[in-house]
Structures are given as C-alpha cells and as structure tokens.
Structure 1
C-alpha cells in the first residue's frame, strides 16, 4: 500500500507522521493533509476538500460524522441542470456523484496497527475492518466515508438479508452486491426449469457471476442436483461459499473463482450481469456497472458452448440501460443473433425499489418505467424474436 505523511500541527519542528494509505475506490493518496477536529467549521472543510486538501480527523467520532453530513449537504446544493437526453442526464448524474465522492472522501481517520480507531466515542471497528481488509499491516489511513461503509457491511453480514423466494437469509460480505432488490431473484424462482413437466429436471446448472450465491442456492432449492457457481471477485467467492455453507447446500453447490464459465456443459446456465455499461467507482458498484457491457458480451459469446443439448441460458437483465439510451433493444437482440442464440421466452417484472417511486431522483423517469427481464435463450438458427412477451405480474 502507498504511504502518506503529515504533521500534527504547523510548527516547523513538528515530527512527520506516517501511515499506509488505503482506498477501495483506488483513489490516489492526497497530496496535502491537515489535522482537523471539533473546532473545524464545515465551510472551511468544504473549501479545503474542494481544493484537494484532506482533513485527518482528531476530534470526536460523532463530530466527524456530523461534519461529513454537512459536507454532503454543501455538495448537494449544486445539483446539475437536467440533461437534454436521458443519456446526458445519466452522465451528469454520474459526474455529480463522482465529485461528491471525491469531496467527502477527503475526511480521513487513522486506524492503528490493530484497526483500532482512536477517537472519542468511537465504536470498535476491528472485526469489521478485518472482514473487509484482511489482517492489519500497520497504521492505516482511510476515508471516514469508506469506514462507515465497512461498518455498515459488517452489520449486513451479521444480520443477513431476508430473501422471500429463498425462504432464508443471505449474508453479503463487504464489496459484494447485496440482493436487496428481489425482482431478479423472483424471476429465477418462477421461471420454468428446462425439462419441467414429463421430462426430468436439469441435473446440472451453472450460475455465472454468482455474487452472494443467492441464485445458485435458489436453483439447488428448486431441485437442481448440482450447481456450479463462478465469480472472478475473491470476496464474492468467499461470500458465496459462506452462504452455501450456512444454508446446508455445500454438498450440491460448488463455488469456483477462476474464469467466467466453469468447465463442461450444463442443462441450465444463469447469469445476472451488471446492468449498466459504465465504469464503476467502487468495489460494490461492480455489481451494477460493467464498462462496455464486457460481462454481458462474454456470457452471450460463451453460452452455446456450455449448454447441453436442449439446454437453456437465462439472462436476467434490467432495461434501465435502454431507457437511459446507453444501449438499445435492437442492439441486444442483434447480440443474440450474432452468437446464434434464439429467444425461447421472456419473463418481465416491474421494480419495487424505493428509487422507482422517488420523484426527486435525477433518473426518476427511467427508474419508474424500468422492467427487469429473464430472457430464456437457446442455441438455434434465425433471428431473435422481439415480440416474445411473457409477463410476470408484480404482486
């Protein structure tokens, strides 16, 4: 990790202090650091942060949280003008969020060599930091905003997220997208399995990009004998294995960490890739943003080669990118055609998340109209049928 330095006051003879610098978003170490405490005013802190000067907090922990909130309110006052097109609005929104993250990321705290936070009224963050960062390696400076995310992730991991379709809780780890939006899980729970009816259920399924392992667990609960789940994120692999073990499914679900697809073929291959073709700015955002749609294209390109005869691929994808004019439906269907896939059916569900009903959200119009679809795909000749429409009512 890179190292940063600072002095505790402005005296020329003050000793220089050193610590490791850690940023989950990959932010570079700040060029200049000043010490701040409960006497620091929000206006001064905001000016320094906008200029690129970081503030190392030495006061009360709750005072630091209050200052962070005040900085956020000052940043949010300058809301960008609406974009001319949905794509313009999205890019302006992302730019504003990036600026907000940079400014708020300038409020720093120091963790000692055991991840203790030496501030008045500070919580014990040692377990949360070990879960997120691994074993400590000396004093480390992180942004307070990131540390609050680490604390929140520990609480999610401890309590878990109730998944009604699974009838159980999933425990997300730090840096792994949480299944708080249940629409995509409901689609996988309701879609007819290949071979349903007179034919036997699929014996083997692949869950590509498993994340928390929720879909792999759901397929096993639905009767698939063997599920192989993959993810290139080591945190996701550890998280999925933890959840599979908690649910008593370790004998039926195998979690691998190498490559997009596991070796071999399966009767069912499921993928819920990131929905927006844009660059993520943090580890958690990798579950939402995928530059250039790389994972989507990789899944489509390799699907046919990993399906058994009469097998299906299930692509679970929101149309938010289409409504924001970041991708078109025609382009998606053309991608199916280009790799020789045909659409067997499509199941749709409306959103239930709070942003869909929030008129103050800059992307409200697109979010309110968003539809999440499960595309049932199979190898075949001919073009994808754009008229397929099997709708699941959102009860």
Structure 2
C-alpha cells in the first residue's frame, strides 16, 4: 500500500520489483507522507512523489530565495518537479509563475504542493518539454546535476544523460527571455569534481547559446555526506559548490 501511495497510484495490481526499487519506494512513501521542511518557505513542507527530485538539500532553494529578483511580474520555472522553486518565487511576491514539466508524476506533485502551500492561484503548472510559450523577465531551471544514465525512476530525478536538459535549457533560454530578463541556472559542480563534465564545457555552452554571465551566487553543501570521510565520493562532495548562475542575452 505504501509503495502504491508513493507512486501516486492505489491500483492493486500484481508486480515484480527489485529489492533496491522496493526500498526506494518505501523511502519515497515516508518522504511523501512526512514532507521535507523548507526553511525558505518559513518551515512549511514540500511533499515529494516517488521519482520526483526531493528538495532535501535546501541550500539550492535558499539561493533562489536570496537572489535579487529582476521582476515580480512573471517567471517561468522549467522542470518544476515538486514545485518548490515556483512556490518560493510566489512567496517572494512574483505575481505569476508558469511551472513546466513533462513527467506526469511531477505535474501532479507540483499541483498538490502549490495547493497545500496556498500559492496555486499564482502558479500555473503546465505540461511542456522545457519552455512554455512566450517570454518572461525571469526563467529559472534546476536541472539534474549528474550527466549519467538513470537505471530506475528514482534516478531520473538526479541524472541528466548527456546533459540533455542542461543544454536544452541553455540553447532555448535567450529566445524565452524579455530583453532585460534573467535566466537563473541552479547547478552543482559535483559532476566536474567527478570528471563527468569539464568546467570549460559549461562556459562554452553559455557562449554558444548567446548568453552572458551577469553574476553568480554560490553555496557549499550542508548535508552530512560532505563531511563523511568514509564516503567513496567524499573528496568530490567536500569540494562541491552549488551555484545560481544569473544569465542574460549576450547582445543586450
């Protein structure tokens, strides 16, 4: 029953899943039931669905809560997931947010969370492959941070094969910004420390997409793994920095 709840379905059909997948479902059900406390939302909770990225690492949410807003009129939240960033923007006074995703689980999750948080009147959750129609003075995206191939639904929330979503966001950003608008890319450099994406590749992607860097806000991880010397990835995790890149059209 807990697994069905975590997956967003109460269907009582027989199925065969691996032990790893079953444990992931049980953990996801606990997250969905209890929620994740978000300091940037005044301690209110986000309830992630199975296969939707959980905002348990709140430092990246804090970046969106602290960055200076270029406008409070309209924002796009690309790949909204749980709807946490759209909700933060609404709480900051942005009058209208269009939050997109193409995963039915994420769409249901974002709608549920924005309703629970009382911001659904300002957050429109729509199905789209990255961008909605039109332009906005603020376009936000927190793509999966690791360019690797997922092997299960829960891994799809953290892996971006071939940096597909990252590059899709960057190549389409300029065409969806107003002339004085900003794109906020929230991205960890963990992949760089693991040798999976050179830093120069990211900077080249900005340039080839017709974007310029207007500024950057950085934060170091606060999660326990960053201090766990027994973790095989400790060296990379200890050096990790998560950044909010403020991007604008290069020709403005």
With structure 2 as the length reference, what TM-score do the two structures score? 0.95
Q: Give me the TM-score of the superposition, normalised by structure 1.
A: 0.61
- Residues in 1 aligned to 2:168 and 2:180: alpha-carbon distance in whole angstroms: 21
Secondary structure of the corresponding residue to residue 173 of structure 1: coil
Question: Aligned partners of 1:363, 1:127: CA distance in 2, in Å?
Answer: 31
Mark the structure with the bigger radius of gyration. 1
**Aligned twin of 1:291:** 161
1:104-161 deviation line (CA, Å, top 9, x unaligned): xxxxxxxxxxxxxxxxxxxxxx254144162436433333432232222222111111
Q: Secondary structure at the match of 2:17?
A: strand
Q: Unaligned stretches of 5+ in structure 2? A: none
Number of aligned residues: 251
> For the residues of structure 2 that align with 1:148 and 1:366, how far apart are their CA atoms?
26
Distance 1:137 1:220 in 2: 37
Structure ranking higher on relative contact order (CA contacts 8 Å, 6+ apart):
2
CA 1:326/1:128 → structure 2, altered by over 3 Å: closer, same or farther? closer
Gaps of 5+ in 1: 1-125, 195-200, 383-395
- Residue 110 of structure 2 is matched in structure 1 by 240
Match for residue 192 of structure 2? 322
8 Å contact kept, 1:130–1:136: no
Q: How big is each residue's C-alpha offset from its partner over 1:215-260, in whole Å with a ceiling of 9 and x where there is no partner?
A: 0000010010000001111101100000000011111001112221
Verify: 1:305 aligned to 2:175, yes or no.
Answer: yes
Call closer, same or farther: CA 1:155–1:381 in 2, change over 3 Å: same
Moved more, 295-304 or 325-334: 325-334
Deviations 1:287-307 (A, max 9, x none): 221111000000000001111
C-alpha deviation, 1:175, in angstroms = 1.2
CA distance in 2, matches of 1:305, 1:192: 22
CA distance in 2, matches of 1:339, 1:192: 23
Give the counterpart of 1:162 among 17, 33, 37: 37
Q: In 2 relative to 1, CA 252–350 (structure 1 residues): closer, same or farther, beyond 3 Å?
A: same
Structure 1: 4+ residue segments shifted above 3 A: none
Q: CA RMSD in A?
A: 1.5
Deviations along 1:302-346, whole A, 9 cap, x unmatched? Answer: 001111120000000111111122111211111111011000001
